[in-house]
């Protein structure tokens, strides 16, 4: 975005004394279900009621939402409870119907964000609206693609913008439905500190057991809010049953979550500054060590070039990774962390050797 400072602080205008909480069912199923959930949420910390009206599924044949018939139900939610309302929109028709129904917040889902053509069509349909528009991260871990979606909306003169972090898909089996990849929303927040970030622990976890843990991490990272899927009878939900919680459980989680102070002061600040100085020294040492490693990698590249040896040596790489994981675990470092660090180091080494081997 050309001018980050033009972003409106719509979240500040809400004057909340707690993080923003968006809650409601994955899917609007019946009018009775929607209104019952909303009434159970109205006297809690929830500010926005969400409900999936159109549900894009990976494969056809599954429940794809009840459609526009649910929009009048959301109007009743607002009239009867005072909660704001939010729905996902994926195309121009969705936008038109949601605006006609006076939905307060519209969000673009991960499957939409991944397609710049679709994002542009939605942005054009929303041009100039004063509604709050949120954009979920794309399915794949691509920060530029995520920011590109935000920029398309911003260029459509939509100033009330925010993003939703719902995790990223991975070809590997992990304990998450969608891996958090916290470094990506952290970098987004660094680049655009005035862009509110809402965390979606339901889609990150894929099950209800991890929601509190992920929510706490998000708040510790100064995310501005949470979007948590909530249902009166989660096990009977028509979509994503495993990741939904009851309104009563949501209240428990909200009561147990700790909101940290955004800044340290006094003696605590002095302690942090001392520890941060130590971190700076260690980080500089890490950079020096990595530079030395790359020099050795370059020397290996020269040998491979002179002897006409292929750059990638699978057996050697497997041995390094196995050894480093074992060493890291002895030092209390997780396998996931060691693998991510050494894969990055290995890739940079390969890049340097490739440059040398292919040079004339």
Residue 140's contacts (CB-CB under 8 Å, 6 or more residues apart) are 114, 168, 169
Res. 7: pLDDT tops 80 = no
172-186, 255-269, 314-328, 337-351, range with the lowest pLDDT = 255-269
Distance between CA atoms of residues 86 and 162, nearest Å? 13
CA atoms within 13 A on the CB side of 347: 6
Looking at residues 18-38, what average pLDDT do you find? Answer: 97
CB 180 within 8 A of CB 203: no
Give the pLDDT band (50/70/90) at residue 82: very high
Of all residues in the chain, the percent with pLDDT exceeding 90 is 79
Looking at residues 235-260, what average pLDDT do you find? Answer: 95
Instruction: Say which residue, 70 or 268, is predicted with more confidence.
Output: 70
**How buried is residue 173: exposed, middle or buried, by Cβ count under 10 Å (0-12/13-18/19+)?**
exposed
Q: What are 176-211's pLDDT values in tens digits?
A: 999 999 999 999 988 888 999 999 999 999 999 999
What is the topology classification, in CATH, of domain 266-358? Chorismate Mutase Domain, subunit A (1.20.59)
* Per-residue confidence (pLDDT) for residue 60, from 0 to 100: 79
* Per-residue confidence (pLDDT) for residue 1, from 0 to 100: 62
7-11, 159-163, 183-187, 270-274, range with the lowest pLDDT = 7-11
Looking at residues 198-226, what average pLDDT do you find? Answer: 95
Distance between CA atoms of residues 23 and 360, nearest Å? 61
Helix (H) or strand (E) segment spanning residue 256: helix 247-256
CB 249 within 8 A of CB 231: no
pTM exceeding the 0.85 threshold for the entire prediction: no
- Buried b / exposed e along 103-141 (16+ C-beta atoms within 10 A): bbbbbbbbbbbbbeebbbbbbebbeebebbbbbbbbbeb
Cβ–Cβ contacts within 10 Å for residue 261, how many?
7
Give the pLDDT band (50/70/90) at residue 2: low
Distance between CA atoms of residues 231 and 338, nearest Å? 38
Res. 124: pLDDT tops 80 = yes
Res. 105: pLDDT tops 70 = yes
Q: Which superfamily is assigned to 4-256 in CATH?
A: Aldolase class I (3.20.20.70)
Distance between CA atoms of residues 234 and 228, nearest Å? 12
Q: Cα dihedral angle (27, 232, 167, 318), rounded to 10 degrees? A: -120
Looking at residues 35-58, what average pLDDT do you find? Answer: 94
Average pLDDT value for the chain: 93
Distance between CA atoms of residues 122 and 68, nearest Å? 17
Looking at residues 136-149, what average pLDDT do you find? Answer: 96
Distance in Å from the first CA to the final CA of the chain: 42
Of all residues in the chain, the percent with pLDDT exceeding 70 is 98
* Per-residue confidence (pLDDT) for residue 271, from 0 to 100: 86
Looking at residues 292-317, what average pLDDT do you find? Answer: 92
Instruction: Say which residue, 8 or 260, is predicted with more confidence.
Output: 260
Res. 268: pLDDT tops 90 = no
* Per-residue confidence (pLDDT) for residue 107, from 0 to 100: 98
Distance between CA atoms of residues 148 and 184, nearest Å? 14
CB 52 within 8 A of CB 16: no
* Per-residue confidence (pLDDT) for residue 346, from 0 to 100: 94
Distance between CA atoms of residues 343 and 338, nearest Å? 8
* Per-residue confidence (pLDDT) for residue 360, from 0 to 100: 79
CA atoms within 13 A on the CB side of 206: 11
Quick one: tokens of 16? 């909340």
What residues does 244 pair with on adjacent strands? none
Distance between CA atoms of residues 317 and 332, nearest Å? 22
Question: Residue ranges per domain, the chain?
Answer: 4-256, 266-358
Nearest C-alpha neighbor of 297 from the set 360, 359, 356, 340: 356
Helices (H) and strands (E) in the chain, counts: 14, 8
Distance between CA atoms of residues 93 and 277, nearest Å? 54
What residues does 225 pair with on adjacent strands? 20, 198
Res. 341: pLDDT tops 90 = yes
């Amino acid at each position: 975005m050309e001018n980050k400072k033009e972003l409106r602080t719509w979240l500040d205008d809400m004057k909340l004394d707690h993080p923003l909480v968006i809650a409601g069912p994955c899917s609007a199923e019946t009018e009775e279900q929607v209104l019952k959930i909303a009434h159970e949420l109205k006297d809690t910390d929830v500010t926005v009621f969400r409900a999936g009206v159109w549900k894009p599924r990976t494969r056809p044949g599954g429940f794809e939402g009840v459609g526009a018939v649910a929009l009048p139900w959301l109007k009743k939610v607002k009239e009867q409870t005072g909660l704001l309302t939010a729905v996902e929109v994926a195309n121009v028709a969705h936008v038109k119907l949601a605006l006609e129904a006076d939905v307060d917040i519209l969000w673009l889902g991960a499957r939409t964000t991944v397609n710049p053509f679709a994002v542009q069509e939605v942005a054009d349909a929303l041009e100039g609206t004063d509604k709050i528009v949120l954009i979920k991260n794309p399915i794949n871990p691509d920060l530029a693609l995520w920011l590109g979606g935000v920029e398309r909306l911003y260029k459509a003169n939509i100033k009330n913008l925010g993003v939703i972090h719902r995790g990223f898909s991975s070809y590997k089996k992990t304990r998450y439905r969608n891996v958090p990849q916290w470094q990506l929303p952290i970098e987004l927040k660094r680049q655009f500190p005035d862009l509110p970030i809402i965390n979606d622990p339901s889609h990150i976890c894929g099950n209800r057991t991890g929601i509190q843990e992920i929510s706490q991490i998000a708040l510790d990272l100064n995310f501005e809010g949470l979007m948590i899927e909530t249902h009166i009878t989660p096990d009977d939900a028509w979509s994503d049953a495993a990741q939904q919680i009851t309104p009563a459980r949501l209240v428990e989680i909200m009561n147990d979550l700790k909101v940290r102070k955004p800044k340290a002061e006094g003696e605590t600040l002095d302690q942090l500054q001392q520890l941060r100085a130590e971190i700076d020294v260690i980080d500089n040492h890490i950079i020096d060590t990595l530079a030395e490693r790359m020099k050795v990698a370059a020397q290996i590249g020269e040998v491979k070039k002179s002897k006409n040896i292929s750059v990638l040596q699978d057996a050697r790489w497997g041995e390094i990774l196995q050894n480093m994981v074992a060493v890291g675990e002895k030092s209390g470092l997780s396998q996931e962390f060691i693998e991510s660090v050494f894969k990055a180091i290995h890739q940079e080494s390969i890049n340097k050797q490739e440059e040398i081997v292919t040079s004339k």
